[in-house]
Each structure stands twice: as structure tokens, then as C-alpha cells.
Amino acid sequence: MQISETTSSERPTSKSGCCSMPRRYLVAFLAFLGFWNVYALRVNLSVAIVAMTSNYTVTLDNGTVIQKRDFDWDSKTRGLLLSSFFYGYIITQIPGGWLGARVGGALLFGAGIASTALLTLLTPLAATGGVTFLFVLRVLEGVFEGVTYPCIHAVWARWAPPMERSKLATLAFSGSYVGTVVALPLSGYLAKHVGWPYVFYVF
């Protein structure tokens, strides 16, 4: 199977409907937002798990103050849960590129992000169900998010002229770093002031 590269002279110079910028830059910006989102979804448990396993005080109706924690997970269990995402992530690296070329990179990219986001919303429910449920959920998140990086190259093969490919890819991939920088401190703030479940509802 061959994927032809379209040069800038062969590519339509259509503009996006909402502004005057070329559509390939709009695609790059949307990919930037997509990577921002998936990396925020990736790191949220790293912060939330601290609040999930830390002691906090509860005052009973009779005035008694007790110490409790939501989940009594030891360091081995926490490490297993934090690494579980990557067990799934590594599975779809090569299939993600192949599927992107077959079904379309943009479609697969969006489906991967949407599926990961939906599973993230279920994280608090899975955690209350037990370690096994949360482990399986995180593996599935890794499976769906694992297609995002490989399949985006199929998008550039269609939308990016060869001379601009590096620039557009850099713009898109920088979203992963911005997402990490924003999500880590904001997750800590949410876990402290609102509650750890909201870390997974916001991201």
C-alpha cells in the first residue's frame, strides 16, 4: 500500500469557513487541543491517587474525630494502577498507524480521544468497585489513547505539505506538554478543594 505525498502546489489552498487561515493550520490547532486533552487524561490519576489514599479527619455527630482514607492501597498496588495505563498503550502503537491509514487518521484520532474521555468519567465508579475494575479501566484507556500518536501521521500525509509537515506536527504535539503542565497542578487543586472524583470529571 502506498500513501502519496501531495506537494504544496498540488494541494488546494482552501480557507476555513470561520477565519482566513488555511485549513491545515486549523487541523493542527485541533490536533493540539486533542493532545492537550489526552495527556490531561493520562496524568490525572497520578495526582488523584494521592488524595484517594491519604488520611483525612472526619467529625462524627457525637463530636468524635476519626482518621480515615477512601482506599487502603499499599505502594505496590498504587504502582500497579499507575502503570496499568501503559500496558494498554503499548498494544495499539503499531495497529494505530495501520488503522489510521485504513479508516482515516482524523476519525481514529477523534474516536480514541472520545473513548478515553468516556472511560475517565467512569474512573470513580471503577475505583469503588475494587482494584481489578480500576486496573482494567486504565488498561482500556491506554488501548484507546494509544492510537492517537500513530494515526495523526495519516492526517499529516493528507493535510500537510512536505515542507510544512515538521512545523504543523510540532504545533500539534506541543499540546501534550501543555496538557501535562496544566493538568498536574489543576488536578491537585481540585482534589484538595472539591474532591478527588472531580479530577476525573473535569478532565
Q: How many CB atoms lie within 10 A of CB 71?
A: 18
> What is the domain partition of the chain in residue ranges?
23-202
Nearest-angstrom CA–CA distance, 86 and 122 = 18
Q: How many CB atoms lie within 10 A of CB 68?
A: 9
Specify the pTM. Answer: 0.82
- The confidence score (pLDDT) of residue 154 equals 87
Q: Which CATH class is domain 23-202?
A: mainly alpha
Q: What is the pLDDT along the chain (203 residues), one digit of tens a residue?
A: 444 444 443 344 445 455 567 888 999 999 999 999 999 999 999 999 999 998 877 666 666 666 677 899 999 999 999 999 999 999 999 899 899 888 888 899 999 999 999 999 999 999 999 999 999 999 999 999 999 999 998 888 888 888 888 899 999 999 999 999 999 999 999 999 999 999 999 97
- The confidence score (pLDDT) of residue 1 equals 41
**Contact, 131 vs 81, CB < 8 A?**
yes
Nearest-angstrom CA–CA distance, 187 and 47 = 6
- The confidence score (pLDDT) of residue 21 equals 72
**Contact, 123 vs 46, CB < 8 A?**
no
